[in-house]
Amino acid sequence: MATYPTMDRVIEGYRVQIHLGSKTDAVKVRQTFLQRHPEVPAYLSYLAPNFRIRVGDLRDRMEAERLRQELRTEFPGCYVVQDQIEPPALPKAEPPSAP
């Protein structure tokens, strides 16, 4: 289960918060979200007394707003939050072709 990233590999960015509530509900919401959106990371965290689900690792607010717009019919109360995110993966380099 993905939890908040360790502090050695994070950058400032944005996520979309889709849930705030009990642990049982948060786990269900996260599982449902990941089944429908497997390409978007979902993070479960605890902020007493609630658990929250935040999704995405977005570098700027415009990307986060686009994701929020996509999710708002499914999660009407979702909103963009500033957060520490995992850096995006670098694209794999193609090996040089032999001449």
Domains of the chain: 7-85 (3.30.70.1070)
pLDDT value at residue 9: 78
Burial (Cβ within 10 Å: 0-12, 13-18, ≥19) of residue 17:
buried
pLDDT value at residue 10: 84
Contact between residue 18 and residue 55 where contact means Cβ atoms under 8 Å apart? yes
pLDDT in tens, 60-96: 999 999 999 999 999 999 999 999 998 876 677 777 7
Q: What confidence tier does 2 reach under pLDDT thresholds 50, 70, 90?
A: low
pLDDT in tens, 14-61: 999 999 999 999 999 999 999 999 999 999 999 999 999 999 999 999
